[in-house]
Structure 1
Amino acid sequence: MNAWAEGNACQLQYPLNIELKTSNVPSGQTSDLATRLETLLNAEDRFSLHKFNVVTGTVSTNSALTVQLDSSSANSPAKATLRSWEPVLDVSHQLQTPEDLQNTALFLAGQIFEVFEDESAALSHLLDGTPFSGGRQAMQLSVEKKQKLDGRTTRAFKPASSYHLTFSLFTPGASPSAWEIDQALKEYIQPLLNPLSSVSKFTIDTQVQLYAAFSPSISGPVFDEDRNRWSLHYSDLTGFVNAAEWPLSPGIGSGPTINFVLYHPSADKAPLLIAENDGTSWIIPQWGAVQIHNPPPGQNTTKLTLEDLRPDMLVFADQLASLLGVPPSPPSLSLRISSLARERGTALILSASSTLGALSRLTLKLTSIEIPTSVAKSVDETLTRLDRACQDLQQGNFQSALENARIAETEVEKAFFEPSMVGQVYFPEEHKVAVYVPLLGPMAVPLVLSAINQLKSLRDRKKAKTG
């Protein structure tokens, strides 16, 4: 337990397989290029947490990135394009002479660094100041970069194996009373959930609430005569959701609920915008997001069509990614989700190890606490899962590492908050004395008086015998 708490049980390392594919390049040159590229990648201090392994040909599905090099255009400028939905980097670079090999390797290394730069910064920031930093010097990050990383962590939900998504349409009147939400979810949200299913599972429900009044805790909206619109101020946003009257369930099932509220203002209070930035949407950290759907002037529809919902769903998709902690870069969604899996696995290992240390210190400090068998089993399972997670990380099996780390976190939390142990922690020996003294006190008085009388009687008998 202490070995994990002190960061000595595992050396966190993130091996990344880079698959290099070339066209119109002899195999010998491809192998030479791969060797040069791997040397350049692993020589960069900023990426000390990563270990790059550049391979040629076809490898297993755990490749972090595939580089597709086209050297057929001799005089065209070098360029690189990252595919949006695949972990593939398409590169065009001249490769005609031996000197071009090193130039190509340098160009490829620079492009790969750009792909994984944000992930390296996030992992370094996550490990900074923890026992698992391993004495490595943290990446030098600007104050702005640290604030962005902290903000992403604060905004996102705690890692969970499943989430429930609730999409709600609220309107202050009787219309719109319907929306083509099923088609909109299929068109704009499901393409994001499909790749995210490797990290967590998702369930979805929808609802429509008519005659939904503003929360009485906000002062707005107020009418801006100069701009002929209604405005909300930043101070109104935190209290915009009318928790007392709007039927928003705090949780369904075992996982946390992420709420998405689409508010359709009445025609006499539209358009409704945020005064400070002219925006119509905002995120409520670790709760969900709100989007205002301003109808076109003069429109009084009873149903929101798929086309009406399109801009709102695109905003919700971005907000969902933020609430789940998906990194904002690189452009490839597949790579961002892979980075999320590595970051989550690391965060869960750190959390489980810290809780193990707290549990160890607790049992050493309060030696009178009886350790239940269930706690011992949970601790054993936690240690086993942490060992497996560490091995998976070092072997590049990041999905398996995430799953083992998630189980370890669940088991150690269950052990730490075992009801019978919690009761003992908050009922120490001093409290037992305070409880039992009022009960034993009345019994002790006659016992003490009786003992005194017996002692006096014994003394009198001894005097009578000696007298």
Structure 2
Amino acid sequence: MTDKHGDQASPQTLATHADTSNVKKVPPPETPEAIQTRFRVIAAFWAVIIFLGFPIWWKTTSIYRAHLPIQEMVDWADSKACRPVFPLEIHLATPGLQSTEAQHLLRTTQHTLDDLNEFAAHHLRLKLADDHTGEEDVTEDKADTALTVRLLPQEDIAVPRSEIHTDTAQLDVFYPPSQVPAPSSSNPPLSAFIAEELQRLYSEEKATIAHILSGNTAGLDSTSPQVAESISRRLRRSMKYAETYHLSFSLFTPGAEPSSWDIEAAVHEYLSPLLEAFAPISNFTVDTQVQLYATFSPTAPLPEYDETEAAWNLKKEDLSAFINAAEWPLNPSIGNGPTINFILYVPSPSQSPLIVKENRASSWIIPQWGGVFLLNPDLSPKSKSNPAHLSQESLRPAFMTFSHQLLTLLGTPSTPASLPLRLHTLIRMRAAALLLSASSTMGSLARLTESLPSIPIPATVAASVSTTLSHLAATCSNLRDGRFSAALASARIAEAEAERSFFEKSMVGQVYFPDEHKVAVYLPLLGPIGVPLVVGLVKELKRIVASRKARRQAA
């Protein structure tokens, strides 16, 4: 080989050219300005993510959890914050006794009552009716008068006797003048008689409240099995408490008659006084309807004719199929409150009279639903049709029965005979039940928020919880002071607010959106963006570490 001048090239020159052609070309080193630019770009991206993107994401996706007094809520649920007591104030009117005799009778009777009482949460407090101490106190601060006992001397009797007023909260005790207790007597017969009568009047109430507070009546040795079974049956049949009930009265007949009834006059005459008496406990609305050609269900057993009684009979086991729910227009509920249905059924003349076979009754109660009354009109031998119109007087037996059924469905105790006393008992029962229900709801809400930290707690829930706790405290205080009507009013608010806080829509909806769903949503979005950013950051960190090692070695 020769060079450009024609001379032959040396072997060394050829080797140098071959080595140069085989060496890989190395890019020129980055300038400090390029390195600084790349560092600034990566730092700018991460600065936007850390100082702008992350705070915005945290703010927009974070769950707001208002502060709840968890420990206080748990204390209410565990009955540590309040132990309900029911002190009943009973006024003792003694017009025929001297002041000292009346005071002595009061003390001895109170002592006997305390000895007989087996349920500490429910106790009777006697007070002389003519004792006007504290008369100038505010009305709201006074305890409710549960009962007034009037002691009336009577010459023609040998032993005391009592008589309860059915329309007022008053008990008259007639006693022979010879039984006026002497100042030196420690346990006079008259005191023992009054104490035993009061214990008898409130025995069912004590057992019922004990059942509500503890779930059973085992704590009362004096409660007979019959009373305990009666209380359990009554509680099973009664409706759940509500602030407003809707009463629906329906007239059903399998034919074309009767087609009208004096329902408005009957409700006003026979039912309105009872509804007004219930005003401190619940409110009521009334609606009515008439349904003609209301036949039995095809699957329901038909009545059977009994020749010996000359009547059509319905078997007791067939009563559950009497209501034709598929064709009879019976609304299950109207508005927010529960509906109590009352059915007045007028059978056709071909199946009249219609009665229940086992007890020959013409009415029955459907637990937690309503009542039924079979109205058999008086038909002449030649009459082949029912009357076209039902007068107010003909509706009287049905509405007297409906009134009794309404008391049962609302959970009113069966004793004593005085309706005001039974309604006072119902007020105390409802206050105790609502107090326990609202307290239990607070405990459930506390456990829910503790076990599910991912659900939000809106400010409305915190406000409802605060309102519930304050009214629970007011209920407990009013019960302790004997203001049972005020206690029921506070307990109603506490129960409503507790239910509102527990069933908050925004809070319950978040329960079904766990963290796994969030990961499944974010990964497809953040993966393509996050990988280049993380890789660039790692390379830049490696470069900075390598440059620092090189400077250290050079130094």
Q: Aligned pair in 2 of structure 1 residues 216, 106: CA closer, same or farther (>3 Å)?
A: same
* Offset, 1:180: 1.8
Larger displacement relative to structure 2 (121-130 or 390-399): 121-130
Q: Within 1, Cα distance between the matches of 2:115 and 2:345?
A: 52
2:283 aligned residue (201, 216, 221) = 201
| 1:33-432 superposed matches below 5 A | 33-58=105-130, 62-73=144-155, 75-96=157-178, 97-99=180-182, 102-129=188-215, 138-140=219-221, 141-298=223-380, 300-432=386-518
SS at match of 1:307: coil
* Offset, 1:344: 0.3
Q: Aligned pair in 2 of structure 1 residues 311, 129: CA closer, same or farther (>3 Å)?
A: closer
Q: Which ranges of structure 1 fall in alignment gaps of 5 or more residues?
A: 460-467
Larger displacement relative to structure 2 (242-251 or 31-40): 242-251
Q: Within 2, Cα distance between the matches of 1:128 and 1:455?
A: 66
TM-score normalized by the length of structure 1? 0.89
Q: Which amino acid aligns with 2:193?
A: F
Q: Within 1, Cα distance between the matches of 2:157 and 2:491?
A: 50
Identity %: 43
- What do residues 22-63 of structure 1 show as CA deviations (whole Å, max 9, x unaligned)? 232111101111111111112223242223221113466821
* Larger of the two Rg values belongs to structure: 2
- What do residues 219-264 of structure 1 show as CA deviations (whole Å, max 9, x unaligned)? 2223345544322223332232222222222223332211111000
SS at match of 1:308: coil
Aligned to 1:22: 94
Aligned to 2:549: none
Aligned to 1:464: none
Q: Within 1, Cα distance between the matches of 2:245 and 2:530?
A: 63
* Offset, 1:350: 0.5
Q: Within 1, Cα distance between the matches of 2:168 and 2:119?
A: 23
Aligned to 2:80: 8
Aligned to 1:31: 103
Q: Within 2, Cα distance between the matches of 1:115 and 1:143?
A: 18
Counterpart contact for 2:105–2:181, Cα < 8 Å: no
Counterpart contact for 1:42–1:48, Cα < 8 Å: no
Counterpart contact for 1:4–1:357, Cα < 8 Å: yes
* Offset, 1:198: 1.5
SS at match of 1:157: coil
Q: Within 2, Cα distance between the matches of 1:430 and 1:238?
A: 49
Q: Within 2, Cα distance between the matches of 1:67 and 1:330?
A: 14
Larger displacement relative to structure 2 (307-316 or 408-417): 307-316
Larger displacement relative to structure 2 (17-26 or 219-228): 219-228
Q: Within 1, Cα distance between the matches of 2:283 and 2:529?
A: 68
Counterpart contact for 1:74–1:95, Cα < 8 Å: no
* Offset, 1:449: 11
TM-score normalized by the length of structure 2? 0.75
* Offset, 1:399: 0.6
* Offset, 1:447: 8.1
- What do residues 272-298 of structure 1 show as CA deviations (whole Å, max 9, x unaligned)? 122232222111122111111112243
SS at match of 2:325: coil
Q: Which amino acid aligns with 1:138?
A: G
* Offset, 1:444: 5.0
Q: Within 2, Cα distance between the matches of 1:360 and 1:309?
A: 52
Larger displacement relative to structure 2 (247-256 or 352-361): 247-256
Q: Which amino acid aligns with 1:411?
A: E
Larger displacement relative to structure 2 (183-192 or 313-322): 183-192
Q: Which amino acid aligns with 1:332?
A: S
Q: CA RMSD in A?
A: 2.8
Q: Which amino acid aligns with 2:219?
A: A
Larger displacement relative to structure 2 (278-287 or 322-331): 278-287
Q: Which amino acid aligns with 1:208?
A: V
Q: Which amino acid aligns with 1:55?
A: K
Aligned to 2:23: none
Q: Which ranges of structure 2 fall in alignment gaps of 5 or more residues?
A: 1-72, 133-141, 543-555
Counterpart contact for 2:157–2:175, Cα < 8 Å: no
Counterpart contact for 1:122–1:343, Cα < 8 Å: yes
Q: Aligned pair in 2 of structure 1 residues 35, 142: CA closer, same or farther (>3 Å)?
A: closer
Larger displacement relative to structure 2 (268-277 or 244-253): 244-253
Q: Which amino acid aligns with 2:148?
A: T
SS at match of 2:402: helix
Q: Within 2, Cα distance between the matches of 1:208 and 1:129?
A: 42
Q: Within 2, Cα distance between the matches of 1:95 and 1:201?
A: 47
Counterpart contact for 2:119–2:219, Cα < 8 Å: no
Counterpart contact for 1:233–1:275, Cα < 8 Å: yes
